[in-house]
Structure 1
Amino acid sequence: MILALLLALAVQAPVPQTPPKSDVLVAPRGGIEAPTQPRRKSGASVTTLPRVERTPGRGTAGRVLATVESLIEVRGQEDNALVGLGLVTGLAGTGDSANMVRGVLDNMLRTHNIKIDVQQLSPKNVALVRVEAVLPPGIKPGQRIDVRVSTLGDATSIENGTLALTELTDITGQIVFATAQGPVTVGGFSVQGDGASAQKNSVTVGVLPLGGKVERAVESQLVSENGYIYLDARAAHGSFGNMVRITEAVNALFPGAATPEADGRAVRIEVPSDLPESEHVAYLAAILKREIEADSVPRVVINERTGVIVMGEGVRLRPGAVTHGALTVTVAESPEVSQPGPLSAGQTKETPRTELNVTEENNGLTLINGAVTLQEVVEVLNVLGTTPRDLISILEAMSQAGLLLANVERM
């Protein structure tokens, strides 16, 4: 009885607590406290979010119905490439170095009758870029087109920049067909501090949606001098079977009008001699609206800058084994300030601190089974559990090894 009472009192006894420390530091009398030395380090890291799994849907196997227009290009209605050199301004210190753009800046200022010493300008806010655009057939002056820009110098980023008014010419550089100007949009981002930085995708290449204005039209020809319209197969759909079925579809609509070319990459269509020129467009439109059972050309399209991967229904995989190991290198600069001791007559000194981390994954071989449908291909690739950038390298290696039965194209 007495023992139980003593145990109960011991449990209920209060535990002594350490008094809280004061937030005020009192310096010793007659001395000077040296400031606390910095101990923190800078760091840089890239975080990959978990993959969001989606339930794949079953598609129809075999051929699919497609219009003739989606499989061919009308000869004489090709796109035309335009190029130019311009300046992207308004950069926050990420532009070209002084020697790259001062001459171009001087010429631009003289064009606008502005006299100023270019040595007083900050070249790091300007970048020299190559400007490119595509002029579609039949487009008229005043219409808008998309524009693409890419840096030529040592600029590190053109994010949030603005393209100055630039002339776009043909390959000869003599005739101006369009002009471009406006804000630049990039497909990535770059963030940096004094001791670390992080970047995703390219920030030295950008686009200007509808940033170009057509100044001059390009003449195009629909019907040849001999009275024929030529339908050329698109690169992505250039199978012999498609050309044969296009010929059959046209002849079913206009008997005897279509003839396949000897190379199997084009179809020649005869235009009736008594058909008025004003009816040529309607004649061609009736042909382009015809539907055929189109072959699916196996193809994988990748864009390494943005990490986009697109594959079609006809992609197949052979059985094999794959391994991959990512190599991650992280460099962080974190300089520290060293304070001298009290009354030591020393000087404050900055000490560099570099943090270098190299991480390499050690993964074993992964056995992959053959895949005969797009859903099976996706399931096999998801087993590897890689990021899109690693998957791009794996797909290219599988294509070279003969495991990937498809054409791999880069954007």
Structure 2
Amino acid sequence: MILGWTLACAGLANARPAHGVPPGRFARVKDVATIEGIRDNQLVGYGLIVGLRGTGDSSQTVFPAQTLISALERMGVTVPQTGSNSASNMQVKNTAAVFVVATLPPFSRPGFRVDVTASSAGDARSLEGGILLMTPLYGPDGQIYAQAQGAVVLGGYMSSAGGSSRQLNHPTTARIPGGAVVERPVGFEVKQLRTVSLILNDADFHTAEKMAGAVNLAIGSNRARAIDSRRVEVVPEGNEDIASLIDRVEEVEVEVFPRARVVVNERTGTVVIGGTVRLLPVSILQGGLAVNVQSEFQVSQPPALSGGTTLAVERERVDAQDKPVNRIMLKQGATVEDLVQELQQIGAGAREVIAILQAMKEAGALEADLEVL
């Protein structure tokens, strides 16, 4: 049987009867929460890639030539001014203007190297074989935090000859491993923290309370408390080492209770159902009426010597087919695996599966958050 959709089930082994109590799972604090203030920072810059093999920006894109003129002038090279706009008269096909992005990890110090990604900002066909010239990377505050430079690495290619071309992946986006050097540290010190705030990845009051209790048990005092469904605060003692406290807190195993969720991607026909989803008894009838209208052109040939004219006559044919109704019965204690097997047996397509899940949600038979991408 060939189905036009993909259905994945996470944690089918943990599926349970609908009347059971949702079990939790144990995970480390560092896997389900982050420390407030300890975070990545996004950097962005604008630069120029040179050394391309005729696959750079064309003369229709003006700003790469302007960038090249500015770079040459800073190096003491004067570009002859011809016409009202010198940039429009330059024919340089081996350069490409790019935007460069990078992620600055927490506690990065000057001299630390980070990976960068360069993407074409003009109409360049490929960045293969290029070298990124020194590009300053700016933070949200407008300050320069790193300098990027180096040879680019592509995950694809583009080749053309004789009017034909072949392309693999995206040759206008490239990576430079370790291509940026940090020049300025982010002004954040752990020792300045007065409280250690744990931010849960998924907001849940029950998980927050369990985390606070597990942390208190690990550190031997009642210094952790849940503030809301996402935040748990731990108050350090007077002269306590904050880094040591964070180390102990992050290694604590806590019982978490993830929300039951069904994720549907209508574009790709993918449905992912978590093992914590509860299914209640329900009866599903699935069928449909298919109407097909076909137009056929027939030649009308008059009898010989009748003086008539040969004409093309359009004839329409309407076919209606009422599909048989498919029935799914989910009884008390049905699991996600049962739902998967039933949907596969009736040969449900991607759109039909999405419609069935939405109908189950409206009928109250699907106790989970339904998220459509």
What does 1:1-400 correspond to in 2, within 5 Å? 60-61=13-14, 63-98=24-59, 99-116=62-79, 122-173=91-142, 175-222=143-190, 227-234=194-201, 237-254=202-219, 255-262=221-228, 264-275=229-240, 279-297=241-259, 298=261, 313-314=274-275, 373=336
Superposition TM-score, scaled by structure 1 size:
0.58
* More relative contact order, 1 or 2 (CA 8 Å, 6+ apart): 2
Assess if the C-alpha contact under 8 Å between 2:116 and 2:177 holds in 1.
Answer: yes
Superposition TM-score, scaled by structure 2 size:
0.64
1:379 CA drift (Å): 11
Assess if the C-alpha contact under 8 Å between 1:299 and 1:314 holds in 2.
Answer: no
C-alpha spacing 1:396/1:124, structure 2 compared with 1 (3 Å): farther
C-alpha spacing 1:274/1:223, structure 2 compared with 1 (3 Å): closer
C-alpha spacing 1:187/1:374, structure 2 compared with 1 (3 Å): farther
Q: Greater strand percent: which structure?
A: 2
1:402 CA drift (Å): 8.2
1:206 CA drift (Å): 2.7
3-state DSSP class of the match of 1:125? Answer: coil
Assess if the C-alpha contact under 8 Å between 2:107 and 2:188 holds in 1.
Answer: yes
**Matches of 1:86 and 1:187 in 2, distance apart?**
20
1:189 CA drift (Å): 3.7
Higher radius of gyration, 1 or 2: 1
Assess if the C-alpha contact under 8 Å between 1:57 and 1:375 holds in 2.
Answer: no
3-state DSSP class of the match of 2:190? Answer: coil
Give the aligned partner of residue 335 of structure 1.
none
Q: CA RMSD in A?
A: 4.6
Assess if the C-alpha contact under 8 Å between 2:224 and 2:234 holds in 1.
Answer: yes
1:267 CA drift (Å): 0.6
3-state DSSP class of the match of 1:216? Answer: coil
Task: For 1:205, give the aligned amino acid.
Answer: T
**Matches of 1:229 and 1:127 in 2, distance apart?**
46
C-alpha spacing 1:224/1:141, structure 2 compared with 1 (3 Å): closer
Alignment deviations for residues 34-84 of structure 1 (CA, whole Å, 9 cap, x no partner): xxxxxxxxxxxxxxxxxxxxxx99764254321101111111212211111
**Matches of 2:179 and 2:75 in 1, distance apart?**
22
Assess if the C-alpha contact under 8 Å between 1:223 and 1:229 holds in 2.
Answer: no
Alignment deviations for residues 209-260 of structure 1 (CA, whole Å, 9 cap, x no partner): 22211111112143666x31111122xx333333222111112123311111
How many aligned residue pairs are there? 300
- Point out where structure 2 has 5 or more consecutive residues left out of the alignment: 1-8, 15-22, 81-86, 289-322, 362-367
